[in-house]
Amino acid sequence: MLYFGVVKELFGCNSDAAELPEGSSVEDLLELLQGGLHKVPEVWRFMAVAVNREYAGKATVLREGDEVALLPPVSGGVQ
């Protein structure tokens, strides 16, 4: 898994690995990750997930070797 933005700060690293049972989905992975946090920040409600560099929904089934990136919402720009 690749972490970006505030998620990288939450876990204190840029990347990590997770083992899930066969047939697990993106939603299963997110639940696993959230369970390891003392307090789940609001940012998780708006988290985008990419699997193998393509946006993926919560129902997407993960396979061994998939690259999963957690992409929190970003703000900014010129006003």
d(CA 73, CA 77): 13
Reported as a single tens digit per residue, the pLDDT across 34-52 is 888 878 788 888 889 999 9
pLDDT at 73: 83
Q: In Å, what is the CA distance from 8 to each residue of 1, 23, 53, 68?
A: 11, 26, 18, 13
pLDDT at 46: 87
pTM for this predicted structure: 0.84
Nearest to 73 by CA among 42, 31, 34: 42
d(CA 56, CA 34): 18
Query: 2-71: which CATH number, 3.20.20.80, 3.10.20.30, 3.40.50.150, 2.60.120.260?
Result: 3.10.20.30
